[in-house]
Amino acid sequence: MVEELGMMGRSLWELPSPLRSGLKIPTIELLLLLLQYNRVTTWPVPIRAMSSTSTTDSSLNAQQMTEQDQVQQIQLLTSTNDDHGGVIVDIGDDLMDSTAFLSILRASISHWKQLGKRGVWIKLPIHLVSLVETLVKEGFWYHHAEPKYLMLVHWIPESGSTIPANASHRVGVGALVVNEKREILVVQERSGYFQGTGFWKFPTGVVDQGEDICVAAVREVKEETGVDSEFVEILAFSQSHKTFFEKSDLYFVCLMRPLSLDIQIQETEIEAAQWMSFDEYAAQPLIEKHERLKFINEIYLAKIDGLYAGFTPVAAGSNFSKEKNYLYLNAGGLKRCNSFIFVDSSSSSMEEFVKEFGEHYGYPNGPKSIDEIRATEFNRLQGLVYLDHAGATLYSELQMQSVFGDLATNVYGNPHSQSESSSATLDILIDARQQVLDYCNASAKDYKCIFTSGATAALKLVGEAFPWSCNNNFMYTMENHNSVLGIREYALDKGATAIAVDIEEDVHPLISEETIYLKISPHEVQRRKVAELSKGQPTGDVYNLFAFPSECNFSGLRFDLDMVKIIKENSRRISGISSVCKNGQWMVLIDAAKGCATAPPDLSKYPADFVTISFYKLFGYPTGLGALIVRNDAAKLLKKTYFSGGTVAASIADIDFIKRRERIEELFEDGTVSFLSIVSIRHGFKILNSLTVSAISRHTTSLTLYTRKMLLALRHGNGSSVCVLYRHHKSMERCHEMGPIVTFNLKRPDGSWYGYREVEKLASLSGIQLRTGCFCNPGACAKYLGLSHLDLLSNTEAGHVCWDDHDIINGKPTGAVRVSFGYMSTFEETKKFIDFVACSFMSSSNHVDHGNYLKGLKKGFLDTDYHLKSITIYPIKSCGGFCARSWPLCNNGLKHDREWILKSLSGETLTQKKVPEMCFINTFIDLSQGMLFVESPRCKGRLQIRLETDVYDGAIEDIELYGHRYKVYSHSNETNEWFSEATGKPCTLLRYSSCYQDFDKTNGTVTCRDANSALNFSNEGQFLLVSEESVSDLNKRLSSDMQKGTCKTVMQVDTSRFRPNLVVSGGRPYEEDGWRDIRIGNVYFRSIGGCNRCQVINIAQIAGQVQKSKEPLATLASYRRVKGKILFGILLKYASSDGEQQQVDSWLHVGQDVHPDSISFIAHSG
């Protein structure tokens, strides 16, 4: 029979050696089996690919077994290879014995395993279902069914199976991961269509059941390459048919952004992976032949050029399911940002946040959850998002109840007295000092706590009392607060050297004696001129001082506290220090004012000499109280000059004799300490101790990481980043390196910067409190913003000072935006902030917007039906105005318009921003009587002021306002008293006399755009014009927002809310934006641009009460923002016609035709 089999000419497969011994198959059964399997059937089944090819396996040849083994030769199951390292078996229609089938099946599987095969697919005809039991017992499982057969599958390797769960219409993803260098993450696969071709492709894979596309793309990149990434958008998708199990499938090309760059390939599927330049990737020969890949490249190039927008995921609920799902859309055509919020693969939902940070967020093991804390202790924050905890954290309402209860039930006397109440106070002070030391794990044996009026006073104390000399050095990191930099003045005045340094990051201490522990980069050495210094030579030991913050209040960077030991004990191991400091002992000062709230320094491990603390940054109350923790041996070096009550044991008034107290606290605490404030800190520490600092740190870190992650995910429609972060870490594992601070600036789609004041202004309208500027940290600000000394000096010369509005100078930001978190911060607050940034600053358009929000205006004079609807004069700046049917013009604009101002006794100009009640001061001018009449509900009589200037007895004085220098008249005491009563603030009334000199126009401080025209006390222009149609459009938007629920209450605004001089009717909304020249009657005006609106338009008079809201400014901000300004209405200046002089006797009349000329609209709208 064996000979007959050989004559059949069929290929015989040798059984694997483990099965050769003892295999007994009757000859007749062997013949039947071979007859049944004497065929080859090809059926391609891909495992994890979108297409497949078939090849017959010819690698196995029959071998003769020896007669001595008495083993019959048999044919194994005939198979074909698939594209992913598996085999496919198509069993014929003939009946077969299950026992014989089992033997051949086992032999075949053993053979495939030796060949390194992975998946085994068996296509079993329906009439052979009796073999299902046999297959299942051997590890096969049912995969799917077709009308004529069942498909069973077996996974041979011990590693996890990559076989699709079932046969259905599948979804595939391709991940185009592009880094900042325009390099693409590419792989070469061990199997598949491109196996062995040398072709580099981007990672691809299949979306798992129940998995979102955006999540699957992130997973596939991580699985294949080890690179963390985040989803940006879908660039394109395709549909193909008869691929997976003869189904129709979808394939999505996803644009991704890497969060890490290190590659760790999945060796079972991936042969190699690398970052490849896009040009090199696109130049691969196979791409030129592959039409779909060529299209994808073209799409990507259009994307980076801002000419293409893909589909971003938006969380969209369903009425049929509670499950979260996404709607992928191109948002470029949507006009309302509020209708959706951008999300990435990480999702902005609370569920996914808790999934990632749940064990860290919200005090799961604490006495109260974060929700309970907010409900019971911070009820006043409803509707408010407070994100300035680095500036001042918030006090708990229960904390304040405890404080008030304590003060209401106890009597605390001056601790310098000897009474019983004073002794009780002294005991509490002793306990309070110990609490402070315990908080920093400082032994009372080694440290003392000195109470001061704040962290700044503590720093000043060190600076004043440190033993400076011409031989010692003050070294400080660039990230220090101004209050630390101020110590430099004491050092330099005494002849010491001052050096700012940068600490090299990621340099960690090692044990080796020869290892450099710390590397610093010194800046320029600072020293005062020798002639200004004392000529006396110091004697004794030399002490240097090194100062750094435990946490930078600009970036959140936490310094490695191991520096304390390195600097104090082994300064010669600090690279870079020997070039600027050659001798002396080093003392270390840590400014822990910011860092102490979430990571107080452990002074038992890091024995710093001086540590400063601010209590309101710990728990909100009390303010005006800080502490200096000082080592006992360091305190002995401090030399105090001034003495006061409480600091001396004895003194004699008329001779030079004092005996200072010996206890460190008593020696340095001048006068009576703020003992009632000190009594209160125990109630704050009670809260921190109940939650624990470690839990607070984890809680705030989770919010910080989430915020950073979401801000980095924001992209404009052209793919450019919205946010630039200063200092970035991504994981809880490295959370010790950063505090709960996120500092950033925002960019427009064209790469220009949004001003931080614009961000702050819009955030305030949205009920979000944050901080902008440099945060009193000039070194970190310059370092992270990349500002050179020349930039800083140029900004100063341009008039930029702290807290002003000069947020962008020469195209560079002068500061940044900072959000920071406290122990009571919540996910909901963070989510609202992220939504605000996405809604207010993320452009969904794929084209770069240069600020042209007007379209379709025609050039030339417009013969439209415009009319002058009203004329309003405001005699006193920021007070009520009056309307007139006709009114004369003068060189300054409307006659007597804004001719008076009110100034406080400190010289500040009063406006409705700070004194909203000024809106109730009503004015009227009777030209025939030559009289200004003023009324106020706070004053009984009506004030009358003569218009003739020659009747003034008051002195003429000079003032500076809005970039101009004015001569003004002052009024009588009686007049000033009347206005003081009307405003509720002591003030004086001043009248414009002349504007005789422009002020500082060359250095950029002039805020007035019409600097060359004669002005009264107008901010920027002589006239403000508003369109009635534009106001009507605004009211429609306000009503629409109320109906959609984005605004709870809304009140229609009229034109008077904008304090215009001229109101026009007719035409279409916002056509006035494009006007250049305007003729009203025979009078000509020229537009000098749009009017930038502020919060004054949110002040309304309702039933005799002042009400403030966020409207209408918030709505205007949603569609009228142009390069940092919220524009509504236009500013005009009085212009001559055809070179003629202005007609000073001209009048305007209500009802006159208005003829605009928009010939230069394009130039003005850009």
- Concatenating the DSSP letter of every residue in 430-463 gives HHHHHHHHHHTT--TTTEEEEEESSHHHHHHHHH
Do 1009 and 1030 sit in the same domain of this protein?
no
Residue 1100 bridge partners (DSSP): 1107
Does residue 776 have an active-site annotation? yes
**Which tokens hold the place of 366?**
């604490």
Q: What local confidence, expressed as pLDDT, does residue 73 receive?
A: 56
Secondary structure (DSSP) of 1075-1128: --EEEETTEEEEEEEEEEP-GGGGEEEETTEEEE-STTHHHHHHH-EETTEEEE
Q: What is the largest CA-CA distance in the chain?
A: 139
Secondary structure (DSSP) of 464-502: HHS---TT-EEEEETT--HHHHTHHHHHHHTT-EEEEEE
Please tell me the pTM assigned to this model.
0.68
516 falls within a domain: yes
Do 603 and 626 sit in the same domain of this protein?
yes
Number of H helices, E strands in the chain: 30, 54
Q: What local confidence, expressed as pLDDT, does residue 1136 receive?
A: 57
1161 falls within a domain: yes
Among the listed residues 235, 301, 331, the one whose alpha carbon sits nearest the alpha carbon of residue 845: 331
- Boundary (domain end) residue, out of 964, 988, 1021: 1021
Cα–Cα distance between 141 and 1022 in angstroms, integer? 85
Cα dist. 453→27, 450, 614, 625, 1094 in Å? Answer: 104, 10, 9, 4, 36
Cα–Cα distance between 910 and 566 in angstroms, integer? 55
Burial class (CB in 10 A: 0-12, 13-18, 19+), 552: buried
Secondary structure (DSSP) of 630-663: EEHHHHTT-------TTSEEEEETTTTEEEE-SS
321 falls within a domain: no
Q: What is the CATH number of the domain that holds 11?
A: 3.40.630.30
**Which residue shows structure tokens 């318009």?**
897
Q: How many CB atoms lie within 10 A of CB 459?
A: 27
Cα–Cα distance between 761 and 847 in angstroms, integer? 26
Cα–Cα distance between 1070 and 1119 in angstroms, integer? 12
274 falls within a domain: yes
Do 647 and 672 sit in the same domain of this protein?
yes
Q: What is the DSSP letter of 942?
A: P
Q: How many CB atoms lie within 10 A of CB 914?
A: 13
317 falls within a domain: no
Q: What is the DSSP letter of 414?
A: -
Q: What local confidence, expressed as pLDDT, does residue 56 receive?
A: 41
Do 574 and 445 sit in the same domain of this protein?
yes
**Which tokens hold the place of 608?**
């710093």
Task: Tell me the CA end-to-end span of the chain in Å, nearest whole number.
Answer: 95
Strands 771-773, 816-820: pairing kind? antiparallel
CB 293 within 8 A of CB 202: no
Strands 518-522, 585-591: pairing kind? unpaired
**Which residue shows structure tokens 């009390």?**
622
Cα–Cα distance between 619 and 684 in angstroms, integer? 6
Domain that holds residue 939: 874-1021
Do 144 and 259 sit in the same domain of this protein?
no
Q: What local confidence, expressed as pLDDT, does residue 888 receive?
A: 93
Cα–Cα distance between 259 and 243 in angstroms, integer? 33
Secondary structure (DSSP) of 1041-1075: HHHHTS-S------GGGG--SEEEESS-TTGGGG-
- Boundary (domain end) residue, out of 976, 993, 1021: 1021
How many domains are there within the chain? 5
Do 99 and 134 sit in the same domain of this protein?
yes
Secondary structure (DSSP) of 838-860: HHHH----SSPP-S-----PPSS
Do 246 and 136 sit in the same domain of this protein?
no
Do 997 and 1126 sit in the same domain of this protein?
no
Beta-carbon contacts of 689 under 8 Å, excluding residues fewer than 6 positions away, are: none
**Active-site residue among 735, 776, 890, 939?**
776
Report the chain (1166 residues): mean pLDDT per 10 consecutive residues: 32 34 39 37 31 38 40 70 82 76 87 87 86 89 84 85 70 88 88 81 85 88 90 83 65 88 86 90 83 80 72 59 62 45 48 82 91 94 94 96 95 90 91 96 96 95 94 93 95 93 64 60 83 53 93 93 87 64 85 95 96 96 96 93 82 86 86 92 96 95 93 85 79 67 93 90 91 92 88 76 79 93 95 92 59 40 76 93 93 89 88 88 93 92 82 64 71 90 91 57 44 67 92 88 57 88 93 91 90 86 75 88 87 67 74 78 32
Q: What is the CATH number of the domain that holds 562?
A: 3.40.640.10
643 falls within a domain: yes
Do 147 and 192 sit in the same domain of this protein?
no
Q: Which amino acid appears at position 307 of this protein?
A: L
CB 720 within 8 A of CB 749: yes
Q: Which residues of 886-904 are buried (b: 16+ CB within 10 A; e: fewer)?
A: ebebbebbbbbbbbbbbbb
Alpha helix stretches (DSSP H) within 38-179 = 98-114, 132-137
Cα dist. 541→467, 528, 574, 633 in Å? Answer: 10, 22, 21, 14
Q: What local confidence, expressed as pLDDT, does residue 17 receive?
A: 34
819 falls within a domain: no
Among the listed residues 451, 394, 434, the one whose alpha carbon sits nearest the alpha carbon of residue 675: 451
Cα–Cα distance between 109 and 154 in angstroms, integer? 9
Q: What is the DSSP letter of 1155?
A: E
Beta-carbon contacts of 1063 under 8 Å, excluding residues fewer than 6 positions away, are: 868, 869, 870, 872, 1025, 1026, 1027, 1028, 1055
Do 988 and 1048 sit in the same domain of this protein?
no
Do 124 and 185 sit in the same domain of this protein?
no
- Boundary (domain end) residue, out of 1004, 1021, 1038: 1021
1017 falls within a domain: yes
- The 3-state DSSP composition of the chain as helix, strand, coil percent (nearest 5) reads 30, 25, 45
Q: What local confidence, expressed as pLDDT, does residue 1107 receive?
A: 79
Cα–Cα distance between 1098 and 1108 in angstroms, integer? 6
Beta-carbon contacts of 1133 under 8 Å, excluding residues fewer than 6 positions away, are: 1010, 1013, 1021, 1022, 1023, 1085, 1086, 1088
Among the listed residues 75, 72, 53, the one whose alpha carbon sits nearest the alpha carbon of residue 9: 75
Secondary structure (DSSP) of 38-51: ---------SSSS-
Do 682 and 582 sit in the same domain of this protein?
yes
CA geometry: angle 891, 895, 897, nearest 5 deg: 105
